[in-house]
Amino acid sequence: MTPQFLKTMLDGHLGQIFATAADIEAAAGQIARQIDDATWQTPPLLIGVMKGAAQWTLAVSQQLTIQADLDFVAVSSYTGTKQSLPKLTQAPTLSVTNRHVILLDEIIDSGVTLAFLIDWLHEQQVASIQTAVMVNKPVARQRAVALDYVGFTLPDVWLVGYGMDLDGAYRNLPVIAEYKTSTSVSTADV
């Protein structure tokens, strides 16, 4: 059964629930095992893309069993569901030059945000870049981005929860859910 608080919080906008917290932790664990098993000449530097990737970055990094460093950048590209040019609003605090970077984002949609960050990291002369996304929404891609680790591949609907927002709301939902822009009676079930 879908918890009542989700239905109440999304007030008629709740669509399909694509993943529960347990599904997401399991997907993050599988990715952590792959990162563990890769060959690293120096410890990788995990960089989470704030704000949305905070939960996903911790879900993956806490399940690693190798040494890794952790940092964050902040990029802003969306107001509501409307996209604008990405802006780096916070650079990493650690030096990225010559580091093996793993960029973690909770969602890739158009690809513009990650492509922008990858270009920026290359300008800083990183040693290598891998990407680890919780959700891949491939339908509306505008910029090609190589994805090394993917949690879930989902359809082109607006998603909220586990870091994903609509105008700053719903990031704290413990599931990945569809936000229906027109209200309807929810049939979602978990």
Ligand X SMILES: O=P(O)(O)OC[C@H]1O[C@H](OP(=O)(O)OP(=O)(O)O)[C@H](O)[C@@H]1O
Q: Smallest distance, Å, CB 161 to ligand HPA?
A: 9
Determine the Cα–Cα distance for residues 35 and 39; give it in Å rounded to an integer.
Answer: 8
Q: Smallest distance, Å, CB 130 to ligand X?
A: 16
Closest residue to ligand HPA, judged by C-beta, is 109
With CB under 6 A as the contact rule, the residue among 10, 46, 73, 164 that binds ligand HPA is 164
Q: Which does 158 bind (CB under 5 to 8 A by kind): ligand HPA, ligand X, none?
A: ligand HPA
Q: Smallest distance, Å, CB 173 to ligand X?
A: 14
Q: Which is nearer to ligand HPA, 78 or 116 (CB)?
A: 78
With CB under 6 A as the contact rule, the residue among 158, 171, 174, 180 that binds ligand HPA is 158
Q: Which does 76 bind (CB under 5 to 8 A by kind): ligand HPA, ligand X, none?
A: ligand X
β-bridge partners, 161: 164
Q: Which two structure tokens, joined as six digits, stand for 133?
A: 């996304």
Q: Which does 105 bind (CB under 5 to 8 A by kind): ligand X, ligand HPA, none?
A: ligand X
Q: Smallest distance, Å, CB 119 to ligand X?
A: 13
Helices (H), the chain: 4-10, 21-37, 54-61, 112-123
DSSP string, 49-98: EETTTHHHHHHHHTT--S--EEEEEEEEEEETTEEEEEEEEE--SS--TT
With CB under 6 A as the contact rule, the residue among 78, 116, 120, 152 that binds ligand HPA is 78
Q: Which is nearer to ligand HPA, 16 or 63 (CB)?
A: 16
> Which positions from 80 through 139 interact with ligand HPA, judged by CB under 6 A?
107, 109
Task: With beta carbons less than 8 A apart as the criterion, state whether 51 and 66 touch.
Answer: no
Peptide bond connecting 137 to the previous residue in cis, omega within 30 degrees of 0: no
Q: Smallest distance, Å, CB 160 to ligand X?
A: 10
Nearest to 133 by CA among 40, 49, 16: 49
At CA 74, angle to CA 117 and CA 119, rounded to 5? 10
The residue ranges that bind ligand HPA (CB under 6 A) are 78, 107, 109, 158-159, 164-165
